[in-house]
Amino acid sequence: MRHSFGPRFLSRLKIIGLKYEDVRVEHVLAFSRLFVALTSLAAWLFHLGETASHYRAGLALLLGYVVTSVALLIWLQWSGDLRHGFVVAAQVNDIAWPALLCLLVEVPNSTFFILFLFAMIAAAFRWGFVETMATALISAAVLLFHATMMAYGPSSVRDLFLTPAEPARLVVRCAFLLMAGFLLGFLAETEKQLRAEIALTNHLLSLARVGSRFASVLQNVLAELGRVFQGTAVYEISSQGSTGRAFKWEIPMLAQPAIHLQELAPAEKNHELLSEYPYAFFMRRIPPNGACSITALDEEGRCLRNGQTQNFAMPLPGAESLLVVSHEMGRDWSGRLVLINAQLGRQREHELRFAQSVMRQLAPVLYSVYLFRAFRSRAGATERARVARELHDTSIQSLIGIEMQVDVLRRRSADGAQADELGRIQGLLRQEVLNLRELMQSMRPLDIGPHQLLDFVAELVERFSRDTGVAVRFISELQEVTLPPATCRELVRIVQEALVNVRKHSGARSAIVRFSSQDGWWKLVINDDGNGFPFAGRFTLRELDCLRRGPAVIKERIRAIGGDFLLESTPGHGSRLEITIPLKGYESHG
């Protein structure tokens, strides 16, 4: 069972947002400490103590304070790296010397207790409220210990602590230390948290570089948010209002972030989007009965009352807690960020509002990355379509015309050797026409969905058989396909690439393209009776990658849709390619 409250929000933010802040702070404190020590020593040199022994004791202690301050400064400058031992030693030093001065030196009104103020300032600069208040309590405890020993301690101790302890003055000093600690700690915690939030937001925005792959950008952003809120898994649901389509980008394990994309079926859309739940909320189970506690905000960031949230149940049965934030991306897209098993501190409303603010700033940037990739892809597709038209209208038509003229010359030629040579040239021209047609087909943008897939592949196979003379059949055991359009396009490209390989390399006379579903997988099988690959056996995608064998383009496209691959080759007797794609969830990699 996970703890009810996560680590302090500032400590989680500093992991990412203020990576180099601690070193800079320690440099500032080291120079400030030396200045305070030297100033105190200079003031003591002009102080006329009531007894020479107290004067010498104060001088010795202040000299020790100066020496240790110089030593800490040299340690920091020499090491160049900040370690936990240095921070502890510096804080102990800042508390120990004022404590010794207050206990062992008799000074009218004992002004050295003010040096505790520097120790509290150092704690505030280093950490925040809790550590500063702890320093204030320790400082007050030193003064109380002094007063207790003077009042009730043995005579030997009272002789050691010669500084008088007046009750009224003691109360004022302790109250001053506690108030100063509270104010310094609260202000430091607030200021550090604000700076850390700004730094984290800037860091997340810097990850969303326009021109990068959208899946990579989203993976980096989701992984960073998952680390801050310490979830175990995270996903983003995006819904397009004009088409009604919804996509789920998921990192199942934040310990090993790898993003997966799947298009949601219409029946799953509302359930995954949590449409009935508040705009932003954090929900957790309360042991031992498993009841749920919820903190929720509306679109404007106002906290919802308990009466508005008491009827909501945990939407994911296996989750201990859930952080959900809605956001808008442009006019047509909306989404939900879902962090599973997230941990929030005691300031849950503040952290939830911060997550809402971050997503409100991130969403337009992510949408810009998506639009840039989409526009660039569309521009590339338009250019490829133009080139394909140019190939068809100029190069292919010219080559066909030349082939026809060569055929006429071959038929008229009376010389057999010349006729054979013209026939060879005609064959080369015919092969180049086929190559250009295949190139043209691969360059044309595909705009097909699951409803057009089977007909498109059947037409593709028929045209290939007609152009090349290879007897290819397409067999489909399905009447309906429910794959995402992107996966459909990749499958068509795989079939095109496989048929090109059959024509160019296999020398096959016949081939079969079969599409079916079996045991929770979509299955595409391509058989031919050609020469096969130059190796024999059955190999999976991973084995082929290790051996650096197999059709590289086909393997790359299979990985892009999250599928698997089995290649069976018998040299001289053909090959068999079996591509499988998960049926449940229509999953593919982004």
98, 112 contact by CB (below 8 A): yes
Return the pLDDT at 165: 59
Query: Helix 450-468 crosses helix 485-501 at what angle (to 10 degrees)?
Result: 10
Biggest alpha carbon distance in the chain? 136
Please check the confidence at residue 393 and state whether its pLDDT lies above 70.
Answer: no
Q: Domain-by-domain residue ranges, the chain?
A: 9-204, 213-375, 446-590
Structure confidence by residue, pLDDT tens digits, 288-320: 777 888 889 988 888 888 767 767 888 888 888
Give this prediction's pTM: 0.64
Return the pLDDT at 162: 52
Percent over 90 (pLDDT), the chain: 16
Q: Return the SS3 of 108.
A: coil
Note the residue count of the chain. 590
pLDDT, greater one: 29 or 375:
29
CB neighbour burial string for 29-57, b if at least 16 within 10 angstroms, e if fewer: bbeebbebbeebbeebeeeebeeeebbeb
Architecture of domain 213-375: 2-Layer Sandwich (3.30)
Q: What ranges in 105-212 are assigned the alpha helix state H?
A: 116-126, 129-152, 155-160, 167-207
CA–CA gap between residue 180 and residue 158 (Å, rounded): 29
Label residue 158 by pLDDT band (50, 70, 90): low
Can you tell me the mean pLDDT for 270-295?
85
Please check the confidence at residue 6 and state whether its pLDDT lies above 50.
Answer: yes
Can you tell me the mean pLDDT for 379-408?
72
CA–CA gap between residue 415 and residue 417 (Å, rounded): 6
Structure confidence by residue, pLDDT tens digits, 98-118: 888 877 765 444 567 778 899
Please check the confidence at residue 2 and state whether its pLDDT lies above 50.
Answer: no
Secondary structure element (H or E) that encloses residue 521, with its range: strand 521-528
498, 526 contact by CB (below 8 A): yes
What is the average pLDDT value for the chain, to the nearest integer?
81
**Which of 352, 285, 287 has the alpha carbon at shortest distance from 323?**
352
The one-character DSSP state at 112 is G
Structure confidence by residue, pLDDT tens digits, 525-575: 999 998 888 888 899 888 888 888 888 888 888 887 878 889 998 888 889
**Which of 269, 229, 160, 319 has the alpha carbon at shortest distance from 8?**
229
Label residue 136 by pLDDT band (50, 70, 90): very high
- Contacting residues for 251 by C-beta, under 8 A, at least 6 apart: 219, 222, 223, 226, 233, 234, 235, 257, 258, 259, 260
CA–CA gap between residue 239 and residue 221 (Å, rounded): 19
Structure confidence by residue, pLDDT tens digits, 25-66: 888 899 999 999 998 888 888 765 445 666 777 888 889 999
Topology agreement, domain 213-375 and domain 446-590 = no
Can you tell me the mean pLDDT for 263-273?
80
The tokens 């109360």 sit on which residue?
171
- The CATH H-level (homologous superfamily) assignment of domain 446-590 is Histidine kinase-like ATPase, C-terminal domain (3.30.565.10)
What separation, in Å, do the N-terminal and C-terminal C-alpha atoms of the chain show? Answer: 33
